[in-house]
Structure 1
């Protein structure tokens, strides 16, 4: 039995296989999960479980990130969530795109990780970095 870190085998595999510039999407409960993406790890149990920020923190403990992409609508629709997300990336490039474009970009992701979050636009595309 694995003693530490992420216990979910699908999420562990997704993170281990993510390379430089690959993308991983951490989503709220409502973001469409494109059929074109092979790895979908679903942690949505019921409203609010698993919370988006808890899931994001878990992924960030093991994934190197060089850039974050968010829907520009999060700034006005969910400002508290936006601020909480930004606080996790003090020295990382943040890019904003319209939500329609955000959804289009998820189609090319290496994987999607869905939370049970009901906060609008609580979604990020994490662009893989390098650890050296």
Structure 2
């Protein structure tokens, strides 16, 4: 059995195979998943699993170089990422309009659907390198 926190075999295999710059999206239950990226659907019921729990497990295994979140989730007028983005530190996510975020998803290697039902609770994670 794996020692790290991420036990989901398909998600673990995906992260192990990611290269520098590859894009992984973690989304709420309503984020549309376009044809193309691998779909990893974890949603069981409303709120299960929570976005924050999935993000925490992924961040324990993925080196993140940069991140993107929807501008609609950011502090109005200030463009600051929402508080849940603190989990990404030291990476400070870029805030882009939700329509642009959905376009960026077209280039994703995979998209993970959670049971989260909070609007705009989505993050694009670009893989970094550990050296």
Is TM more than 0.5 here?
Answer: yes
TM-score scaled to structure 1, two decimals? Answer: 0.89
Runs (5+) with no aligned partner, structure 1 = none
Tell me the secondary structure at the aligned position of residue 127 of structure 1. Answer: strand
Deviation at 1:76, TM superposition (A): 4.9
Cα distance in 2 for residues equivalent to 1:40 and 1:62: 19
| Count, aligned residues | 126
Tell me the secondary structure at the aligned position of residue 46 of structure 1. Answer: coil
* Residues 74, 95 of structure 2: 8 Å contact kept: no
* Residues 71, 99 of structure 1: 8 Å contact kept: yes
Cα distance in 1 for residues equivalent to 2:2 and 2:110: 24
* Residues 24, 126 of structure 2: 8 Å contact kept: yes
Moved over 3 A (4+): none
* Residues 66, 93 of structure 1: 8 Å contact kept: no
Question: Is it true that 1:103 corresponds to 2:102 in the alignment?
Answer: yes
Deviation at 1:114, TM superposition (A): 0.9
- Deviation per CA, 1:20-61: give whole Å up to 9, x if none: 111100000000011121x21111000000000000000000
Cα distance in 2 for residues equivalent to 1:93 and 1:7: 27
Counterpart position of 1:129: 128
Deviation at 1:90, TM superposition (A): 2.6
